[in-house]
Amino acid sequence: MKIDKKEVLKALEQITVPGEGQNMVESGAVKNIHIFGDEVEVDITINNPSLQARKKTEVEILKIIHREVYEKAKIKINLKVEAAAAKPKTNEIKGKPIPGIQNIIAVASGKGGVGKSTVTANLAVTLAKMGFKVGLLDADIYGPSMPIMFDVAQEKPLAVNVDGKSKMKPVESYGVKMLSIGFFTQPNQAVIWRGPMASKALNQMIFDAHWGELDFMLLDLPPGTGDIHLSIMQAMPVTGAVIVSTPQEVALADAKKGVAMFQQESINVPVLGIVENMAYFTPAELPDNKYYIFGKEGARNLSEDLKVPFLGEIPLVQSIREAGDVGRPAAMQTATKIEKAFEELTKNVVQEVVNRNEDLPPTEAIKITTMAGCSAVKKK
């Protein structure tokens, strides 16, 4: 008996491709059909690599041709598996965005002692002075310093009822809403927690608090790169990161690692830029003199090498330290060079956030899929 190719195609239209919902002919799975008398050779390509899908496809082809075309046909099936083309990733925020918060900026440093918390505090009050609604989360679990810098060390967050749920009300100072682990511990009490405990405390301060409407939330991260950083970036979609460093080589070496952490493919948080803190020393009695005791323009040169923006330089001035100790950030000292320096820095940060939001899609809250977290960056 001579078999008609059209009848074979018509019969194959009754078979659905595994996992696709279309019939074999419509989906393009049938690549070719060869007929030699009562012999039928069918070339098939499917996307499902499982053995079950392959066997099911072969059995259904045999059955349908024998039933619909010719029951004594000799059938040969050449089945090939091709992986489906990867669908382009959609840049939707997959984490838990905090309702009402427009931009989340992480302030980080490669090592401790470079003035990251001081820069964060002054950045926060300068944003508030500019008219923005600002929140500050002190994520430095093991060394919280924001309560002292904002003169609220004795304050405690109150509980408020929001939509029938009890939430923490952030402490407010100088127009900045703030939460810190320092509000929940004694001044001389050391926080000796393992990573999961610290991460749980952070999540509570993030999601169990009533932050309200904010233009910016600043995150004062712990120094270095580690568990807390991953927990933060898993918990919320960070808009961008600001890296703080001093000009000296030892600090710059670690600042590079801080930038590299955010630029890892598995994290992929845009680096808004680098801040050079303690750029030079200026004594109060000689305000025009500059002494580059930690080196000159080290962070500026690093930003050029890494091709990230340079956001500004902050001098090493005694009044900045004194202001932090008494709980009144130095950026609030009107008509001073310090105020001007922090205003310049803040304007650059805001501009980089605007540029980032115009040029890039929203950041996703990262997903850590291995026990080790994220692997080291491999430079090509």
For the chain, which domains are there? Answer: 5-81 (3.30.300.130), 101-359 (3.40.50.300)
- Say whether pLDDT at 362 is over 50: yes
Q: Can you tell me which residue has the tokens 């001093």?
A: 246
Report the distance separating Cα 269 and Cα 239, nearest Å: 7
Q: What is the 3-state secondary structure (H, E, C) of 235-267?
A: HCCCCEEEEEECCCHHHHHHHHHHHHHHHCCCC
For residue range 190-199, what is the model confidence (pLDDT) as tens digits?
777 777 787 7
Confidence label for 268 from pLDDT (cuts 50, 70 and 90): confident
Most confident of 16-20, 68-72, 291-295: 291-295
pLDDT of residue 88: 47
SS3 328: coil
For residue range 217-229, what is the model confidence (pLDDT) as tens digits?
999 988 877 777 7
Confidence label for 83 from pLDDT (cuts 50, 70 and 90): low
Most confident of 27-31, 132-136, 376-380: 132-136
Question: Mean pLDDT lowest for which of 54-58, 116-120, 304-308?
Answer: 54-58
SS3 13: coil
- Say whether pLDDT at 373 is over 80: no
SS3 359: helix
Angle made by CA atoms 367, 371, 376, in degrees to the nearest 5: 75
pLDDT of residue 213: 92
* Residue scoring higher pLDDT (19 or 155): 155
Closest CA to 8 of 63, 60, 62, 69: 69
* Residue scoring higher pLDDT (283 or 90): 283
**How far are the Cα atoms of 217, 245, 256 from residue 273, in angstroms, in the given order?**
17, 11, 12
Report the distance separating Cα 106 and Cα 270, nearest Å: 10
For residue range 25-70, what is the model confidence (pLDDT) as tens digits?
888 888 888 888 888 898 988 887 778 888 888 888 899 888 888 8
- Average pLDDT of the residues in 312-331: 91
- Say whether pLDDT at 380 is over 60: no
pLDDT of residue 20: 66
Q: Can you tell me which residue has the tokens 């491709």?
A: 17
Is the CB of residue 177 less than 8 Å from the CB of residue 183? no
Query: Can you give the pTM of this predicted structure?
Result: 0.69
Report the distance separating Cα 194 and Cα 196, nearest Å: 6
Confidence label for 141 from pLDDT (cuts 50, 70 and 90): confident
- Say whether pLDDT at 342 is over 90: yes
Confidence label for 374 from pLDDT (cuts 50, 70 and 90): very low
Mean pLDDT, all residues of the chain: 84
pLDDT of residue 128: 94
